[in-house]
Chain A
């Protein structure tokens, strides 16, 4: 199982996306989002990005999702829709899961699959050969580069996040 862990995690990732894309109430959708975030962290970890996986949990789930959860709790409705309480939501969920399962079976059965780019069964999900990275972790080098050569990128992304907050406040001001 460990050789196929990235493939399994990716499949469950898509299924958790389906779980909130089928639009139940935000409380239940938030749960699917949480699971998706955790699985995404797992995928990042499997490619050697230990620091970034931790960042996903801390900042993304622990910061942004918590804020999302609190705002959802403020806007809660008396009869929230779960996945089984509404036929439309259930149908969308089943469609999404079926599509993903069929895709996964297609990938596993055929030896070589060419959808957008060729990949050899589940082989390409198993061994991701990006070449020899030497003694340094590429991920740590990338983060170091972000804060040294990539100052402009930090400025731009920081500004975008600030603007995101200002825009949300402007939009919800409503007078």
Chain B
């Protein structure tokens, strides 16, 4: 894409999200969502193949429908409360429907069907923006209305999301679909804690974004999109092999790594609120997620995956891709656990 146009469009994506996050007027929330959606369509369609166009169309249709539902219930909330401020008490029906609309935007179950299809159809860097930046705006609105969300609705959606993220990702070999199901499961964890401690949701979002950024950057460095291609990393860039090992374990939520912090905090907050079965269920279905991350780790770093002999002797070229900020991101995605006591400042 033409560089000045690309800069303008990226600026609009960023400002759309910033408008949603910082505004206190419901109309501006809707405007921010639409600005974000409109500007991200050319980014999703960076490659002009039919797959990318289909993915961009699917994304546009689902997000536009969600924005319309949100707008309708914004207006009905205006009818009942007479004002446009975001932080005031929402009409209960409006709260339910707005949560549904925002769940459609996030890709929570049962509105998750677009996530793997759209993520698979677009390039790796567009998928990165889709799965990280695009989650910030809806979650910020859910944060603001979190005190009035119907618990039955949000907890059902979150449990379903974690389950579907786990079971759906099991049969995948394409890395983008794996990351899409990973995103669905993480969104489930985030919305589970939303009602009880929205701060933990922000913590989970931050750590999720850091880990997903790192994962996508490592995949982009290697130019791999499938498990089979990722398994040849030991030959291309051996350093990335070990990084993928550690990063996948962090994504799965294993203890000495950063990915454990959000899961630990969420389970702690849920049990403090006297829910026992739910965190048990969430933790057990997160094991499904861990299984497919471990499968990636195994094929990449722990075995020599079956391949031709000619693929075992590759030329080693210097990587020309600009991987900004990758080493700090890797450190942040794996080594933040010793800083967890700092969370006591939240009390």
Contacts and interface: CB of A to CB of B under 8 A. Distances in A.
Contact of B38 (A117, A164, A175): A164
Given A116-B76, A175-B48, A163 B19 contact: no
Contacts of A160: 31, 34-35, 38
A171 B41 contact: yes
Contacts of B15: 159
Contacts of B41: 167, 171
Contact of B28 (A117, A156, A164, A174): A156
Interface string B180-193: 00000000000000
Contact of A170 (B1, B31, B79): B1
B31 A156 contact: yes
B305 to A, nearest CB: 37
Contacts of A156: 19, 28, 31, 35
Interface of B: 1, 5, 8-9, 12, 15, 19, 28, 31, 34-35, 38-39, 41-42, 45, 48, 56, 76, 79-80, 93
Contacts of B38: 160, 163-164, 167
Contact of A163 (B28, B35, B56, B79): B35
A166 B9 contact: yes
B31 A166 contact: no
A159 B9 CA distance: 11
25 contacts: A117-B76, A117-B79, A117-B80, A156-B19, A156-B28, A156-B31, A157-B31, A159-B12, A159-B15, A160-B31, A160-B34, A163-B12, A163-B35, A163-B38, A164-B38, A166-B8, A166-B9, A167-B42, A170-B1, A170-B9, A170-B42, A170-B45, A171-B45, A171-B56, A174-B48
A167 B56 CA distance: 12
A173 to B, nearest CB: 8
Contacts of B1: 170
Contacts of B28: 153, 156
Contacts of A163: 8-9, 12, 35, 38-39
Q: Which 7 A-B pairs have the closest CB atoms?
A: A170-B42, A163-B12, A160-B35, A167-B38, A167-B42, A174-B48, A163-B39
A117 B41 CA distance: 36
A54 B8 CA distance: 33
Contacts of A174: 48
Interface string A145-175: 0000000010011011001101100110011
Given A117-B80, A156-B35, A170-B5, 18 more contacts: A116-B76, A116-B93, A156-B19, A156-B28, A160-B31, A163-B9, A163-B12, A163-B35, A163-B38, A163-B39, A166-B8, A167-B9, A170-B1, A170-B9, A170-B45, A171-B41, A171-B45, A174-B48
B159 to A, nearest CB: 28
Contacts of B39: 163, 167
A170 B34 CA distance: 17
A82 B281 CA distance: 54
Contacts of B19: 156
B42 A171 contact: yes
Contacts of B56: 171
Contacts of B31: 156-157, 160
Contacts of A117: 76, 79-80
A137 B28 CA distance: 24
Contacts of A175: 48
Contacts of A167: 9, 38-39, 41-42
A153 B48 CA distance: 34
B111 to A, nearest CB: 21
A102 B38 CA distance: 36
A143 to B, nearest CB: 15
Nearest to A164: B38
A164 B8 CA distance: 12
B127 to A, nearest CB: 18
A5 B35 CA distance: 35
A120 to B, nearest CB: 15
Nearest to A174: B48
A112 B253 CA distance: 55
Nearest to B25: A153
A81 B19 CA distance: 42
A171 B344 CA distance: 49
